[in-house]
Amino acid sequence: MMDHLANTEINSQRIAAVENCFGASGQPLALPGRVLLGEGILTKECRKKPKPRIFFLFNDILVYGSIVINKRKYNSQHIIPLEDVTLETLPDTLQMKNRWMIKTSKKSFVVSAASLTERKEWISHLEECIKHLLTKTGRQPCTEHAAPWIPDKATDICMRCTQTKFSTLTRRHHCRKCGFVVCADCSRQRFLMPRLSPKPLRVCNLCYRQLLADKKKEAEADRRQAEPIRSAIQGYEPSSGDDSDKSDDEKAEQWPADTEFYTSEVSWSSFHS
């Protein structure tokens, strides 16, 4: 179906209509071989509260944005390459049903459909497009994903120290590594994560220590890998012609960072009970 629609006039008209709805604030979407397969309104779990968002599924990208006037005007356009997407179904909560997570290397978030059938259709079409793209490009599925942000209302206290209570004067912050809701004292550090941003991002104290440890391990691994090369260069004496006789040997947190909240059967409201 995708190949059949790729160069048709109706497909070009549908894509042009989407571009027109986003206006000058959106990016051009028409490309050779790109097909608009479907669209619909899904509820996206945002930081403050769930909000309706318009989603457009193409054969190579997923586009979504905020609704100003349905079918007439949208803004805050986001474009996600489908090669970077992994899907995960989630259990229902009291507030939202028919949920699943869209995970990418730069951003992960939860959406919900109006019905179970609608969720199955979205996931089925997304998985088909992703499989087709990966087969076409020969790439492997993405394994590193950004942590989804825990919604503000999920907790009234800092998820690291479990002491600070949030209020109108005590702000909530989010760790960009684990997605936890944390207080200012527990998230004073910044760390450069090029996969997410060219600028250092706010991280909680525990993630900061882990990131530093990982960086130290990587540096040590690089040093050990380069050591034989340096030794070979230093031991090489072209003027003497002698072989070298040198030896080759010249060598308690409350909330664990790897906690999986969105795959847990425990509701958010139960965390602090």
pLDDT of residue 43: 97
Name the nearest CA neighbour of 195 among 79, 104, 66.
104
3-class secondary-structure state, position 143: coil
Calpha distance 183→157 (Å, rounded): 8
pLDDT of residue 248: 45
Q: Pairing state of beta strands 73-81 and 61-69?
A: antiparallel
Architecture of 149-219 per CATH?
Answer: 2-Layer Sandwich (3.30)
Find where tokens 């479907």 sit.
38
pLDDT of residue 243: 45
pLDDT of residue 268: 41
Tell me how far the alpha carbon of residue 66 is from its chain's centroid: 19
Please tell me the number of Cα atoms within 13 Å of 78 on its side-chain side. 15
Q: Where in the chain is the domain with CATH 2.30.29.30?
A: 9-137
pLDDT of residue 1: 55
pLDDT of residue 267: 43
pLDDT of residue 181: 96
Phi, psi of 42 (to 5 degrees): -120, 155
* CATH class, 9-137 region: mainly beta
- Whole-model pTM? 0.76
Give pLDDT < 70 ranges for the chain: 1-4, 229-273
pLDDT of residue 262: 64
| Cα→Cα distances 1→96, 97, 167, 180, Å | 33, 31, 53, 42
Instruction: Mark 244-261 as b/e (b = at least 16 C-beta within 10 Å).
Output: eeeeeeeeeeebebeeeb
Q: Where in the chain is the domain with CATH 3.30.40.10?
A: 149-219
Largest alpha-carbon pair distance within the chain? 82
Tell me how far the alpha carbon of residue 122 is from its chain's centroid: 19
